[in-house]
Amino acid sequence: MPDQLTEEVIAIIAREQRLAPEKIRPDATFQELKIDSLDGVNIVFALEEKYNLTIPDEVAREMTSVGQVIEALRRQLGQASAV
């Protein structure tokens, strides 16, 4: 059973890419989902807006799969809540 953050990230990627959420597995790569670099920055922007945080460029660059997005976001949110 995916956790809430996983579900939310998948929902955002689905919305931005015009994909059905059930087509997006947590282990899918951006390449498999045909998410190019411009799509990628768009997804990062949508996450920043949703969670009201700033994702540094070096973190954004690591996001090349759904799982990496979720893990990086989890770290960022953890840091944000620790402040």
Partner 1 sequence: MERIVISGFEVISCLGLDRRQFWRRLVDGEGGLGPITRFDPGTLAANVAGEIPGFDPEPLFGKQLDLLDRFAQLALYCARHALAAAGLDGGFEPWFVPERVGVITGSGLGGVESEDRAFQQIYGQNAARLHPFSIPRMMTNAASAHISMEAGARGPCLTLSTACASATHALGEAWRYLRDGIVDLVIAGGADAPITFGVFKAWEGMRVLAPANGNPRRACRPFSADRAGMSLAEGAAIFVLERESSARRRGAPILAELAGYGASADAGHITQPNRQGPLSAMRAALATAGVRPQEVDYINAHGTGTRLNDAIEIAAIRELLGEAAAQVSISSTKSMHGHAMGASGALELAAVVQAIGHQIVPPTANFTAPDPNCDLDVTPNQSRPRLIRTALSNSFAFGGLNAVLAVRAV
Per CB under 8 A, residues contacting partner 1 are 17-18, 38, 41-42, 44-45, 48-49, 54
Q: Is 3 helix (H, G, I), strand (E, B) or coil?
A: coil
- Taking the least distance from each CB to partner 1, the nearer of 7 and 48 is 48
Least spacing, CB of residue 57 vs partner 1, in Å: 12
> Cβ 46 to partner 1, closest distance in Å?
9
- Contact 79/10 with Cβ under 8 angstroms? no
Least distance to partner 1, CB of residue 28, Å: 18
Q: Which of residues 5 and 19 has its CB atom nearest to partner 1 in the complex?
A: 19
User: For 63, phi and psi rounded to 5 degrees?
Assistant: -80, 95
